[in-house]
A and B are shown apart, each in its own frame.
Chain A
């Protein structure tokens, strides 16, 4: 089995010239309830294996499930925020399959009676609004985590056996399924990314999930098919599983479009199958064939009674919804004075909430954007984490900027403060103190450094004396070097000019 070879790709423009893509996105959102969906086990991420399990989530004989009411509430709120109808009456169902990630041999899910259905989300791409129709959002439980041991690659292919940790089994999950998204054309990759980004933003605003893609609390499956251009048909689709970053959603769509294009234009046909996404190489490889024989023998879960949310409850929950993200973005963009591009970059980096909180904590919009989108986004990228997982809070960023504004540090030193924050050295003030980063405001020391610089660069000094004030830059550089960056460049300039003019 080839797991690493890049398949033939049709050039992007050729794909667009000959085919119309149809997209479908399935997004799984792990809820942030304290306990699991059907038992009281905790849900904390990163616990030691098999320490958050009980007879119910291990599927031991006689154990009975009980629905977490908070999870139902979160499901309804997600449904409402996606403009869905909320079922008056719906049931859980058993999805039967043989795979050891669920010890019960079935996953408790919902089948033809999802709690929420028929909704939509308006997605903004390049200043245009694109409506993504939501087919359904249903409640289910997450599965355990398998570690495949042996074999050449450590992945499932060639594995000798699997080691399973059931801590995640039973964590409440909401699966949000779009209808086929058609007419996206060349914007299909961007629309897919923007949809997941906006959905994540919505989930954050609702406060129903940690919404950490890097920790798997939001996972996307990307369905894609191509049909001959303007045929109106739907082609055979592939389903690329577990695409776990916004950037990868975009890349996976683009990759599959070009891969399908190469097969179809060569006279071949697409095999309906799942594909594995490889974050490192940016390619997909063949997974499991999805034939029509796929048969989960769904039936109503006999151990759980139906869920019938009263209309009063639904309306009460509607009253708890946060501001519509599209309106909110427009409001914030106006208030902050960001350009369309700046706003798009902020949203695209998943930084909207962080920037907002930083501004709320007292930073200017420009400063908040600068630190999160240039400095911190770069570091998060290097560390392979999300901005929220970097260990720097909006309060920290606001404080760092306040220190810059007060002249205690400069931008260059601020970067070192972020080094300290990321390394867990405490608050910004503590990092400044421990690392000795404060700007030297001792006039005597500064004055000496300026005198040294003048003495070492007599030619430059003469130019300044002759009125070529622009030459002061060279002296400022020399002083800053001697002060190891810990001086206020503006004050240094003043001192130089005082001494030479």
Chain B
């Protein structure tokens, strides 16, 4: 049976930038384990002859033509930005995560 540990929940919370305190971790870890167990029941229904499936439809190679379609105007694009400067999205600085 899959089980998710408290440490794993803490790691996931860290990756997802969710600040969880000790009480929340204690509370959430068993809950997530229950969810995993429920989902794991699917593996009981699928035998070894059923390959893991990421896409429900048996489709491949759905391509579009390399054709330009109209973009938004910058006003539209920036309409919901929390802050705008020099026609750009102004966002808090983030250190250490530059790709």
Contacts and interface: CB of A to CB of B under 8 A. Distances in A.
B54 A35 contact: no
A227 interface: no
Interface stretch (B21-29, B33-41, B68-76): B68-76
B43 interface: no
A36 B78 CA distance: 20
Contact of A100 (B68, B69, B78, B91): B91
B93 A160 contact: yes
A302 B97 contact: no
Contacts of B73: 51
Contacts of A325: none
A288 interface: yes
Contacts of A86: none
Interface in A61-103: 66-72, 89, 91, 96-103
Interface string B59-93: 11111111111111110011000000111111111
Given A41-B68, A49-B88, A67-B62, A98 B93 contact: no
A35 B89 contact: no
A306 B91 contact: no
A319 B90 CA distance: 48
A99 B59 contact: no
A372 B65 CA distance: 38
Contact of A98 (B65, B67, B88, B94): B94
Contacts of B54: 91, 300, 302
B61 to A, nearest CB: 6
B83 to A, nearest CB: 8
B78 A163 contact: no
Contacts of B93: 148, 156, 159-162
B15 interface: yes
Contacts of A49: 74, 86-88
B60 to A, nearest CB: 4
B47 interface: no
Nearest to A288: B96
Contacts of A358: none
A322 B74 CA distance: 40
A307 B63 CA distance: 9
A166 interface: yes
For the residues of A in contact with B, the DSSP-based class is loop
Nearest to A296: B15
Interface stretch (A3-11, A52-60, A246-254, A340-348): A52-60
B65 A69 contact: yes
Contact of A35 (B57, B66, B78): B66
B51 to A, nearest CB: 11
Of the four ranges (under 10, 10 to 19, 20 to 34, 35 or more), the interface on chain B belongs to 35 or more
Contact of B78 (A50, A101, A308): A50
Interface string A123-162: 0000000000000000000010011110000001101111
Interface string A368-395: 0000000000000000000000000000
Contacts of A308: 60-61
Of the four ranges (under 10, 10 to 19, 20 to 34, 35 or more), the interface on chain A belongs to 35 or more
A89 B97 CA distance: 32
Nearest to A172: B66
B66 A163 contact: no
Contacts of A96: 15
A91 B53 CA distance: 12
B89 A42 contact: no
Contacts of B78: 50
A80 B96 CA distance: 36
A165 interface: yes
A305 B55 contact: yes
A157 B66 contact: no
Given A54-B72, A91-B54, A34 B92 contact: no
Nearest to A65: B64
Interface in A270-313: 287-289, 295, 297, 300, 302, 304-309
A166 B67 CA distance: 19
Contacts of B98: 99, 101, 146, 156, 287-288
Contact of A50 (B59, B68, B77): B77
Nearest to A306: B60
Given A50-B77, A156-B93, A166-B89, A305 B59 contact: yes
Contact of B90 (A103, A163, A288): A163
A164 B61 contact: no
A33 interface: yes
Given A107-B99, A305-B62, A35 B67 contact: yes
6 contacts: A40-B68, A54-B69, A67-B64, A107-B99, A156-B93, A164-B88
